Amino acid sequence: MNAIAQAPSSSTTKRVFRLSLVATAIALVSGCASVNNPNPADPWERYNRTMDTINYNVDRAVFRPVASAYDTLTPQPARTCISNMFNNVGDVWSAVNSFLQGRPHDFFNTLGRVLFNSTMGLGGCIDVHTKNGGERIRNDFGTTLGVWGMPSGPYVVLPFLGPSTVRDTTSLATAALDAKEFSSVAPITAIKNVPVRNSILGLYLVDMRANLLEADEMVNEVALDRYSFIRDAYLQRRNAMVESRRHGASENGAPLPDYEDYGDDYDDNATPSTEGLTN
């Protein structure tokens, strides 16, 4: 488990960064030609398809085997506990973004979820809040930028990271500038013990990839064009998240649950929106 969970050293990180630059350069050279009838949301489709192929091959050679080994060797209760604990850490960042979006209901309920799971759920190992009918409110800085009015911009496939947009890439860049404050892994990066911190970060990445194994298989089985399927699903989900925060609805367009009222001065928008998923 330590071998799987150990995060890359600084020298390895530099090598990965250099490889990502090389991969980007290859994709740019390969994708310089235009695409007939490009999707308006994907003007860089030629480059994106090339980068997607590079990412796919790297994933099949490196990341997927590690995630599959983790999924096979780690008992299901342990995997669930680990995923719940990382989700609990991520909920802290979700609460911060709800606050930045001016949604105090979501902020207080997510904060309460974190406190409830951290105490009654043994540090987040058990998702007590969900077991008692609570709903997890996913949020991130890319969604916050969308709520603030920043357009999503063109779709782009990032080296190793995969689907994104210009707006979401901006949020990732913000997190990279100061991961100790502006990311979902901020509590982890704040750990002073470097070996412990790197091991937890490595486990976080492996767990995140392992949680996508089933979805990965489903896409390969049902998608006629894997690239288009992933692109359209990603854009629809991201647009739905922004619209739901703007109009007070859940990601599927339904009204949000009736949470407790934490103040009389907050108007959570009168009418949920089920309009098209466009910014």
CB 4 within 8 A of CB 66: yes
Instruction: Output the pLDDT for position 23.
Output: 52
Burial environment of residue 154 by CB neighbours within 10 A (0 to 12, 13 to 18, 19 or more): middle
Domain that holds residue 165: 2-33+44-247
**Count of domains for the chain:** 1
CA 124 – CA 122 distance, rounded (Å) = 5
**Does residue 170 lie within any of the structural domains?**
yes
pLDDT reading at 137 higher than 60: yes
Instruction: Output the pLDDT for position 38.
Output: 73
CA 146 – CA 141 distance, rounded (Å) = 9
CB 207 within 8 A of CB 76: no
Strands of the chain, DSSP E: 155-158, 162-165
Neighbours of 237 (CB within 10 A): 13
Least confident of 40-44, 117-121, 245-249, 273-277: 273-277
pLDDT reading at 91 higher than 70: yes
pLDDT reading at 5 higher than 70: no
pLDDT reading at 96 higher than 60: yes
Chain segment 218-269, per-residue pLDDT in tens: 999 999 999 999 999 999 999 999 999 988 755 544 455 444 443 444 444 4
**Does residue 97 lie within any of the structural domains?**
yes
**Does residue 114 lie within any of the structural domains?**
yes
Alpha-carbon torsion 96, 98, 101, 103, what sign? negative
Please list, in sequence order, all residues whose beta carbon lies within 8 angstroms of the beta carbon of residue 252, skipping any fewer than 6 positions away.
240
Alpha-carbon torsion 43, 279, 135, 263, what sign? positive
Strands of 188-238, DSSP E: none
**Does residue 278 lie within any of the structural domains?**
no
Distances (CA, A) of 11 to 14, 29, 154: 5, 27, 33
**Long-range contacts of 197-205, Cβ-Cβ distance < 8 Å, separation of 24 or more:** 197/7, 198/6, 198/7, 198/8, 198/9, 199/2, 199/5, 199/6, 199/7, 200/5, 200/7, 201/7, 202/4, 202/5, 202/6, 202/7, 202/8, 203/1, 203/4, 203/5, 203/82, 204/86, 205/7
pLDDT reading at 144 higher than 50: yes
Instruction: Output the pLDDT for position 277.
Output: 42
Chain segment 151-208, per-residue pLDDT in tens: 999 999 999 999 999 999 999 888 777 666 667 788 888 889 999 999 999 999 999 9
**Does residue 276 lie within any of the structural domains?**
no
Chain segment 14-47, per-residue pLDDT in tens: 454 455 555 555 555 444 445 666 789 999 999 9
Mean pLDDT of 4-13: 45
CA atoms within 13 A on the CB side of 24: 13
> What six digits make up the tokens of 111?
């904060």
CB 164 within 8 A of CB 41: no
Instruction: Output the pLDDT for position 112.
Output: 96
**Does residue 38 lie within any of the structural domains?**
no
pLDDT reading at 212 higher than 80: yes
pLDDT reading at 149 higher than 90: yes
**Does residue 83 lie within any of the structural domains?**
yes
CB 246 within 8 A of CB 147: yes
**Does residue 265 lie within any of the structural domains?**
no
Chain segment 102-114, per-residue pLDDT in tens: 999 999 999 999 9
pLDDT range class, residue 10, cuts 50, 70, 90: very low
